[in-house]
Structure 1
Amino acid sequence: MALTKDVKAELIAVRDPRPNVRVAETTALLRFAGGLHSIAGRVAVEAEVDDRRLAIRTARDIAEIYGVRPELAHIQASGAREGERFAVRVVNGGETLARQTGLLDNRRRPVRGLPNKLTTGNRDDLAAIWRGAFLAAGSVSEPGRSASLDIACPSGEAGMALVGAAHRIGIQAKQREVRGVPRVVVRDAEAIRAMLLAMGAVQAASSWDEMRQRREVRAGVNRLVNFDDANLRRSAQAAVAACARVERALEILGDDVPDHLKQAGDLRLAHRDASLDELGHHADPPLTKDAVAGRIRRLLAMADKRATAEGLPGTESAVPTQETVA
């Protein structure tokens, strides 16, 4: 929670003067922080946020960009929600604002996703969409096995629009449903860092990366301290054997190795302690762990066949003894 607050505090201070960027951010914030309501038969636009500074900034942006003056309201904490909440509400001129931001279409029907002109914009517009969505309903967890950058979405269509925007920036994001709520999630550590940077949380991205590196070093030290564990020892021996066989296979085949098999072999040697699933994530384009395993098997089989035909030692000859590994 503290990390999320730090990221939001930094993003609130990001002020891009370009009108198209401000429109993209404000539209996304309104879409993910609230939506449309009917008050006394009139269409009202309302966004509910968890930071007073964000509420004031949002109200100012709406007034400056669209020429309407929002109302600000303080919402007391309830049993279902912890902490203060603030509402930015536009009743007079609400329908016009809804049309201008794409929350309503030309037939006065609510739009469930995001306007197409925003999701097909340039990189800065797409980053602004993510910034607005994160300020409205985002969270980020500390580095670790379950690290994620997560945004709760008002609809599946809004989630898919956010996923598409991330992909256009070059960052992998996925949509899933948690307890009936659509969510867009970024899980890969490098992708989380890249998204923080894209949104404008430069300091938070640096802090997050430093925290990740400290944890990785600590985890590495712990693995070395407990290296006498039998399962870990067997895993280390298997990794050494696999890398030795791959090195021998590439040596036997030389320039005759097919590119896709060489890629798999190079991945194995570049990331010696990685699992097959992790190797697949490092591939470009990404591969499944079965695909990586299959390519490495074919590489070894091709090399062993060549070695047998030419009377050379095969790949197994390169595997060190257990005493050597130990």
Structure 2
Amino acid sequence: MSFSSDIKDELCRLHNEKPCCAFHELAGILRTGLIIREIGKKNHLLFITEHASVSRTVYSRVKEMVPDGVEISGEKTTRFKRHMVYRLDFTGITERDDGIRLLDSVGMNVNLPQQKVEYTKLDIKNKCCIRAYLRGGFLAVGSVSNPDKSYHIELSFINGLIADEFMSYMEFFELKPRIIQRKNYDIVYMKEGQDIVDFLNVINAHNALLEMENIRILKDMRNQVNRIVNCETANLEKTVNASLKQVSYIKYIDERIGIENLPEGLKEIARLRMENPEASLSELGKMLKPELGKSGVNHRMRKLQQIATDLMEKGK
């Protein structure tokens, strides 16, 4: 099961206590999901989905209003993985008065011979009904990527008016959707994790919201640990490289004039560095008696480097 499927299963289990919300959820489904396709030289009004729970929800809701207007069928497909695709044929409701009234109530005028659907603006006043309408649209044409991999939600619309309408209702909840064109579709999408969480909250997908938040927390923790490890690795590499250079300077001094001939402070730090090549400057400072801070040790190392550099220049 995909993350999108889990969300849609959760949404289909919701019970709309208010009739107005149930109506607007169905309106969102029909306005976004109904398409006209030619089958056997005849135009059909169809709703197609890969989700069994969505097909059952749409079928049962419409049957309550138009008892004999919808036919449902399923067929197996090998796209991606072998699974079922469910097709609800709404052609019958265009030939019935109660079916035409249903389409008219959701702002749709269907002309099958001309393969044309006209939409009128659906003005939704109540906040709860806007939530239901967005929920219906997501059930019909929405998808969310697995948050373990990436943050991405999109809704694919075949009509620009409906896409703009959905964007305005999403912006009503201070979401920040964007839109692109892909083939013959208007794709409304969001790629920020927080926006997706907020959208799930708007459509009442609270279980999915909690799951995504848990994933986001784990990902943030992993990223933070990786940053710390990378930082420590970089610091360790820097320390090792600096130590190797210091050891090489000290060995050169020992070969040319001997460490024993250095001033006491330089002689002491040179011996410690040779004996502890892996130690940081701070750690070397703590080995001295009395202890010396990192800056003090670094000062002595720079003096040793300068001595080695002077000897190299004299040896040319």
- Same topology, TM > 0.5: yes
Match of 1:47 in 2: 47
**Matches of 2:146 and 2:80 in 1, distance apart?**
25
Task: Report how far residue 132 of structure 1 moved.
Answer: 1.3
Match of 1:25 in 2: 25
- Do residues 103 (structure 1) and 105 (structure 2) align? no
Task: Report how far residue 44 of structure 1 moved.
Answer: 5.0
**Matches of 1:94 and 1:181 in 2, distance apart?**
25
Paired residue type of 1:128: A
Aligned pairs for 1:290-301 (under 5 A) are none
Match of 1:62 in 2: 62
- For normalisation by structure 2, the TM-score amounts to 0.63
**Matches of 2:154 and 2:115 in 1, distance apart?**
28
- Distance verdict in 2 for CA 1:224–1:77, change over 3 Å: same
Paired residue type of 1:149: I
**Matches of 1:80 and 1:102 in 2, distance apart?**
35
Paired residue secondary structure (2:171)? helix
- Distance verdict in 2 for CA 1:76–1:144, change over 3 Å: closer
- Do residues 225 (structure 1) and 226 (structure 2) align? no
Paired residue type of 1:201: A
Aligned pairs for 1:269-288 (under 5 A) are none
Match of 2:121 in 1: 116
**1:70-94: CA deviation from partner (whole Å, max 9, x where unpaired):** 1111133155886211112223332
**1:114-138: CA deviation from partner (whole Å, max 9, x where unpaired):** x4234x3322222112211211121
- Distance verdict in 2 for CA 1:38–1:181, change over 3 Å: closer
**Matches of 2:82 and 2:128 in 1, distance apart?**
33
**Matches of 1:102 and 1:175 in 2, distance apart?**
23
Give the stretch that moved more between structures: 200-209 or 132-141: 132-141
Task: Report how far residue 12 of structure 1 moved.
Answer: 1.0
Task: Report how far residue 33 of structure 1 moved.
Answer: 2.4
Match of 2:83 in 1: 83
- Distance verdict in 2 for CA 1:166–1:112, change over 3 Å: farther
**Matches of 2:185 and 2:233 in 1, distance apart?**
42
Match of 1:147 in 2: 151
**1:236-284: CA deviation from partner (whole Å, max 9, x where unpaired):** xxxxxxxxxxxxxxxxxxxxxxxxxxxxxxxxxxxxxxxxxxxxxxxxx
**Matches of 1:109 and 1:217 in 2, distance apart?**
52
Task: Report how far residue 161 of structure 1 moved.
Answer: 1.2
**1:17-75: CA deviation from partner (whole Å, max 9, x where unpaired):** 32222222112212332324578999753211112232122111112245554111113
Aligned pairs for 1:153-172 (under 5 A) are 153-172=157-176
Q: How many residues align?
A: 229
Task: Report how far residue 166 of structure 1 moved.
Answer: 0.3
**Matches of 1:29 and 1:13 in 2, distance apart?**
15
Paired residue secondary structure (2:109)? coil
**Matches of 1:27 and 1:144 in 2, distance apart?**
32
Task: Report how far residue 160 of structure 1 moved.
Answer: 1.2
**Matches of 2:41 and 2:104 in 1, distance apart?**
17
Q: Is the 8 A contact 1:23 1:65 kept in 2?
A: no
State which of 186, 198, 201 in structure 1 corresponds to 2:202. 198
- Do residues 133 (structure 1) and 137 (structure 2) align? yes
Task: Report how far residue 145 of structure 1 moved.
Answer: 8.3
State which of 156, 180, 183 in structure 2 corresponds to 1:176. 180
**CA RMSD, aligned part only?**
3.1
Match of 2:260 in 1: none
Paired residue type of 1:121: K
Larger radius of gyration: 2
Paired residue secondary structure (1:116)? coil
Task: Report how far residue 217 of structure 1 moved.
Answer: 0.8
Match of 1:241 in 2: none
**Matches of 1:24 and 1:35 in 2, distance apart?**
19
Identity of aligned residues (%): 20
**Matches of 2:81 and 2:116 in 1, distance apart?**
27
Paired residue secondary structure (1:5)? helix
Paired residue type of 2:208: A
**Matches of 2:43 and 2:94 in 1, distance apart?**
6
Paired residue type of 2:215: M
**Matches of 1:145 and 1:4 in 2, distance apart?**
13
- For normalisation by structure 1, the TM-score amounts to 0.61
Q: Is the 8 A contact 2:148 2:215 kept in 1?
A: no
Provide runs of 4+ in structure 1 moved above 6 Å: 38-43
Q: Is the 8 A contact 2:43 2:115 kept in 1?
A: no
- Distance verdict in 2 for CA 1:88–1:180, change over 3 Å: closer
Task: Report how far residue 208 of structure 1 moved.
Answer: 0.3
**1:187-234: CA deviation from partner (whole Å, max 9, x where unpaired):** 222221111111121111001001001100110010011115779xxx
Q: Is the 8 A contact 1:102 1:111 kept in 2?
A: no
